Amino acid sequence: MGLQMFGKNIIRLFKFDLKTHHKAVREFKKFPMMLDNLKYEIADEIRSLKLPKVMTQFESVQAILDTNKSVARFGDGEFNLILGNAIGFQEYDEELSRRLKEILMTKDEGMLIGISRRFGTLDDVDEQVRAYWRWFMAQHRAEIYEMLDFDKTYIDTCMTAHSIEVDDHTTPECRADTEKYYNLVRQIWEGKDITVIKGEDTEKFTYDIYDNAKSISYIYGPKEHAWREYKRILAEAEKLPKDRLIIAVLGPTAKVLAYDLHKQGYRVLDIGHMGKAYNWLKTHNDKIVAGQFFAA
């Protein structure tokens, strides 16, 4: 070591507060005790945290089977529109935003309102989905909580994408679960006359989830920005007999359609990705990436 470097080190040593260092070492010895107490502090904090009550996906399907209620489901897209943001296939519209918020907060007992079971644990979905929902909740939890009723039990919005967001849908356990789930789902319209309201020129499925219905007819809206044609679509639906089950697959517009037709005595189920998920799980034998499913 050169003389100059030796001198610099002596200066640093004199600048270093040995008393402070000794105090820090003594405090560090108390660290295990601090950790022991910390778990009780966290437990006390957790008691103040709120989580909305949301059914499991099986429970959500059973609720649809056991009641004659209509369904409107709210996912991240609907929340974004309510909060003033456009989404990929639906431009922001002030009236649509207002109507979505009205329906989300309805006290109408004839409606099953869906929100996602993503407000707490995320151990039932893959890494990609977990990362997205952690980001989304960090951004919007407080605003969404202001619109939720914590005394209410919601159905699970993600019931329409069952087994799509798991780590691996190809395991024997997951395949058995999927078969059981969709056998239950298909009981909803089995032997019934149904009308599906969907985007024009949307995909045709190799495996049609509705093929056990008594009869099926269609009303078409635009694939994107369906709210622009809401009045026309509603008028066509109002011509249907009221004993016909209506399936709405029309993005955020489907929520308003379900609510307004329900008020007129129809039963409408906003079940979005259900048919698509059923077909994908039947045709995709390899591992599904959830992002690819929702982007397709």
Structure tokens at 280: 């994908």
Starting at the edge strand found earlier in the chain, the sheet holding 53-54 runs 53-54, 153-156, 111-115, 70-73, 268-270, 245-249, 193-199, 215-221
Residues 149, 194: Cα–Cα separation, whole Å: 32
Q: How far is residue 101's CA from residue 96's CA, in Å, rounded to a whole number?
A: 9
155: β partners: 114
Q: Tell me, what's the pLDDT at 170?
A: 84
Encode the chain (296 residues) as per-residue pLDDT tens digits. Answer: 455 554 555 445 444 455 555 555 566 556 666 667 777 777 777 777 899 999 999 999 999 999 999 999 999 999 999 999 999 999 999 999 999 999 999 999 999 999 999 999 888 888 888 899 999 999 999 999 999 999 999 999 999 988 888 888 888 898 899 999 999 999 999 999 999 999 987 767 889 999 999 999 999 999 999 999 999 999 999 999 999 999 999 999 999 999 999 999 999 999 988 998 999 888 876 666 655 565 55
Concatenating the DSSP letter of every residue in the chain gives --HHHHHHHHHHHHHS-HHHHHHHHHHHTTHHHHHHHHHHHHHHHHTT----EE--HHHHHHHHHHS--EEEE--HHHHHHHTT--BTTB---HHHHHHHHHHHT---TTEEEEE-S-SS--TTS-HHHHHHHHHHHHHHHHHHHTT--TTSEEEEGGGGGTTTSSS-TTSHHHHHHHHHHHHHHGGGTTT-EEEEEEETTPPPPSS-TTTTSSEEEEEEE-SS-GGGGHHHHHHHHTTS-TTSEEEEESHHHHHHHHHHHHHTT--EEE-TTHHHHHHHHHH--SPPPHHHHHH-
Is the Cα torsion angle 156, 158, 159, 163 positive or negative in sign?
A: negative
Cα–Cα distances in angstroms (integers) from residue 251 to residues 116, 214, 229, 258, in the given order: 15, 25, 13, 11
**What DSSP line would sit under 173-241, residue for residue?**
HHHHHHHHHHHHHGGGTTT-EEEEEEETTPPPPSS-TTTTSSEEEEEEE-SS-GGGGHHHHHHHHTTS-
User: Model's pTM, two decimal places?
Assistant: 0.83
